[in-house]
Structure 1
Amino acid sequence: MKIYTLNKEQFLPISLDKAWHFFSSAGNLSKITPPEMQFKVLTKFEQDDIFEGMHIDYIVRPLFNIPLRWKTEILKVDKPNSFIDKQLNGPYKLWEHTHIFIEKENGVLMKDQLKYSLPFGIIGRLGHAILVREKIEKIFEFRKLALNKIFK
Structure 2
Amino acid sequence: MPEIILQTFISAPAKVCFDLSLSIDLHKISTAHTNEEAIEGTTIGLIKLGEYVTWRARHFGIWFKMTSEITSLIPNESFIDEMLKGPFKSIKHTHTFEAQSCGTLMTDVFCFQSPFGVLGFIADKLILTAYLKKLLIDRNAVIKKYAENGDKSLIV
TM-score (ref. length: structure 1) = 0.87
1:87 aligns with 2:87: no
Q: Which runs of 4+ in 1 moved over 2 A?
A: 43-52, 143-152
Matches within 5 A, 1:1-152: 3-33=1-31, 35-43=32-40, 45=42, 48-63=45-60, 65-150=61-146, 151=148
- Looking at structure 1, the residues matched to 17 and 109 of structure 2 have their Cα atoms a distance apart, in angstroms, of 16
- Looking at structure 1, the residues matched to 27 and 44 of structure 2 have their Cα atoms a distance apart, in angstroms, of 16
Check 1:55–1:16 CA distance in 2 against 1; reply closer, same or farther (3 A cut): same
Question: Unaligned 5+ residue runs, structure 1?
Answer: none
Contact persistence 2:2–2:124 (CA under 8 A): no
CA shift digits 1:50-72 (9 cap, x unpaired)? 33321111101122x21111100
- Looking at structure 2, the residues matched to 140 and 105 of structure 1 have their Cα atoms a distance apart, in angstroms, of 25
SS where residue 42 of structure 1 aligns?
Answer: strand
- Looking at structure 2, the residues matched to 86 and 131 of structure 1 have their Cα atoms a distance apart, in angstroms, of 21
Alignment length, in residue pairs? Answer: 148
Question: Unaligned 5+ residue runs, structure 2?
Answer: 150-156
- Percent of matched pairs sharing the same residue: 22
Aligned AA for 2:3? T
Further displaced range: 86-95 or 36-45: 36-45
Shift of 1:40: 0.8
Shift of 1:36: 2.8
SS where residue 99 of structure 1 aligns?
Answer: strand
Check 1:22–1:147 CA distance in 2 against 1; reply closer, same or farther (3 A cut): closer
Shift of 1:148: 4.1
TM-score (ref. length: structure 2) = 0.85
Q: CA RMSD in A?
A: 2.0
SS where residue 119 of structure 1 aligns?
Answer: coil
CA shift digits 1:91-146 (9 cap, x unpaired)? 11010000101111121110001111010001111112221112112212322433
- Looking at structure 1, the residues matched to 44 and 143 of structure 2 have their Cα atoms a distance apart, in angstroms, of 24
Further displaced range: 97-106 or 126-135: 126-135
